[in-house]
Amino acid sequence: MPFVESSRLEQRVSLLSDYDTGAFSVAALCARYGIDRSTFYLWLSRRSAGDPQWFADRSHAPSSCPHRTAAEVEARVIAVRKRFAYFGPKKIRAWLSREDPDQHWPAASTMGDMLKRAGLVSSRRVRRRVVEVGSRPIWPEAPNAEWACDFKGWFRTRDGSRCDPLTVTDAYSRYLIEVRIADQTIAAVRPVFERIFKDHGLPGAIRCDNGPPFGSDGAGGLTRLSAWWLKLGVGVHLIRPASPQDNGRHERMHRDLKGQTSRPAAATLREQQVRFDRFRKHYNEERPHEAIGQVVPACLWEASPRQMPDRPEEPWYDADHEVRRVLQSGDIKWRRGRVFVSESLAGELVGVTEQEDGSHLVRFCDTDLGVIDRSGRFRRFAPHRYKLREAPEAANQNCGGSSRSKM
C-alpha cells in the first residue's frame, strides 16, 4: 500500500514536469496519464498556489462541525453509564433530563454512539418475541388495580444457603413493592403479605403463578393463601400453567433483579437481602422505566386507600344460597352426609345454590368451586386462567378501549 501511495504522488509530479517542457499538449498529457482535464487543472492550480506539498492527498473531513456534541456533555453521558452499568442510551437520556432539564441533551442514538466509542457497549443480536395475532396487552388503569407476585428462581449464597426471593410489583406503575427472602410455603409467605397489606393497602387483584403457595389443582385453584386474599376482597388472577409470559411485566423485572443482585451471589442471606433492598430503591426511585414513558415508578405509584381490616368479614351469599362451613377435613355437611370440597377452605363459609338441572353450584366469595351433582358427588372446576393479552373486543370491554399512551 505505501508503494502504491508513493507511485501516485510521483505520477503527479511527473505530470506537471512533462507539462513544463512544452513538448506535450494538455490533451496528450491527460491521455498519457489516464486522467481527465479537470484533474489536470486541479493539480496545476494547487502547484500554482505555492503549497510545497501540493501533490499530497488532502483529507475530506470537515475542518469544523458546529453540531458536534460538546466534550463535557459526552463526559456526563459516559459518567452516568459507569455509575449505572445497566442503563442503556434511553435510560441515560431520561436520567440526565430529569437531573438537568435545562440542558439540551442529544438524542438516545447519539448517546449510543458515544458509549460505543468509549467501549462501554457491545452489539448483540436482537430477538423479536412473537405476539399473538389479534391480541394486545391488558393495561390496568390505576395503581393497585392489579399486583403481580412470584418467586424468582432460587439460588444459593456463597455459604451454601438456599435463597428464594419473593417479589411483588404494581402492574400499572411497575413499582417494586417488595423483594423478600422467604420459603415457598404459605406459613412463610402470608406474614410477608400481611405486612405489605398493612403498609400499602389492598390491591384490586393479584396476578400469580398457578403453583403453590399461590395456586393449586384443587377446587377453584385455591390454596389457604389465595383463599385468604379472596376473603379480604382481593381477586386472584392465576396465569396458565407453564406460561410465565402471562406475567411478562413481572418476569422482565426478574431479569434485572437477577443480573444486578445475584451474579455473583452474596456471601450470606443477610447480605443478599441488603442487595435486594438496595436494588428495590434504585428500581423505584432512580431507574427510568421505558414502559411508563421513561419516568421512575415512584412517580406513578401511590398506596391503596383500601386498608386491611383487623379481621376479615365472613363471605356474604344471596338468599337462595345454603351456607355451609367447611370442616377441617375439607368436607361440608350435605343431605345427611358429607361431600369433600377443599382442605384449603377448612373453617370457611361456602354458599351452595341449586341449578336448573338439579345440581348444586358451590362457591366461595365470588369464585365458583364446582358442582354437587344429583348423585351427591362434587365435581370441582378448574381455575380460570388469566392471560396478559386478550382479543381487542374483550380488551375494549374490560379497559374501555384505553391504552398506555393515553396515560
Query: 7-54: per-residue pLDDT in tens?
Result: 778 888 888 888 888 888 888 889 888 888 898 888 888 888 888 887
**Residue 143 sits in which domain range?**
136-299
Residue whose C-alpha is closest to residue 222's, from 116, 369, 77: 369
Domain boundary among 299, 329, 362: 299
Query: Rounded to an integer, what distance in angstroms lies between the CA atom of residue 328 and that of residue 330?
Result: 5
pLDDT for 66 equals 58
In a domain, 61, yes or no: no
**Is there a single domain that holds both residue 109 and residue 140?**
no
**Is there a single domain that holds both residue 275 and residue 164?**
yes
Cα–Cα distance list, 165 to 278, 321, 330 (Å): 14, 41, 31
In a domain, 56, yes or no: no
pLDDT for 136 equals 53
Query: Rounded to an integer, what distance in angstroms lies between the CA atom of residue 10 and that of residue 392?
Result: 73
Structure letter (DSSP) for residue 405: G
In a domain, 389, yes or no: no
**Is there a single domain that holds both residue 155 and residue 293?**
yes
pLDDT for 4 equals 45
Query: Rounded to an integer, what distance in angstroms lies between the CA atom of residue 366 and that of residue 180?
Result: 30
In a domain, 25, yes or no: yes
Strand-pairing partners, residue 170, are 147
**Is there a single domain that holds both residue 144 and residue 277?**
yes
* One-character DSSP codes across 212-267: TTT--SSGGG--HHHHHHHHTT-EEEEPPTT-GGGGHHHHHHHHHHHHHHSSSPPS
pLDDT for 233 equals 95
Query: What are φ and ψ of residue 344, in 5° steps?
Result: -65, -20
Residue in the structure block whose three cell numbers are 415457598: 184
**Is there a single domain that holds both residue 90 and residue 153?**
no
Q: Starting at the earlier edge strand, list the strands of the sheet with 205-208.
A: 176-181, 165-170, 147-151, 205-208, 235-238
**Is there a single domain that holds both residue 111 and residue 206?**
no
pLDDT for 392 equals 46
| 170: Cβ contacts below 8 Å, ≥ 6 apart | 143, 144, 146, 147, 177, 203, 297, 301
**Is there a single domain that holds both residue 7 and residue 44?**
yes
Strand-pairing partners, residue 259, are none
Residue 158 belongs to domain with CATH number: 3.30.420.10
In a domain, 216, yes or no: yes
Residue in the structure block whose three cell numbers are 405509584: 301
pTM for the structure as a whole? 0.73
**Is there a single domain that holds both residue 156 and residue 226?**
yes
**Is there a single domain that holds both residue 156 and residue 248?**
yes
Query: Rounded to an integer, what distance in angstroms lies between the CA atom of residue 54 and that of residue 265?
Result: 64
* Axis-axis angle for helices 248-261, 269-285 (nearest 10): 120
**Is there a single domain that holds both residue 38 and residue 107?**
no
* Residues composing the chain: 407
Query: Rounded to an integer, what distance in angstroms lies between the CA atom of residue 136 and that of residue 140?
Result: 13
**Is there a single domain that holds both residue 83 and residue 213?**
no
In a domain, 366, yes or no: no
Note the pLDDT tens digit of each residue in 272-321.
999 999 999 999 999 999 989 999 999 999 999 999 999 999 999 999 99
pLDDT for 399 equals 37
In a domain, 149, yes or no: yes
Query: Rounded to an integer, what distance in angstroms lies between the CA atom of residue 25 and that of residue 40?
Result: 12
What residue ranges of the chain have pLDDT lower than 70? 1-6, 61-68, 124-138, 388-407
**Is there a single domain that holds both residue 145 and residue 111?**
no
pLDDT for 398 equals 38
As for how many domains the chain has, the answer is: 3
In a domain, 215, yes or no: yes
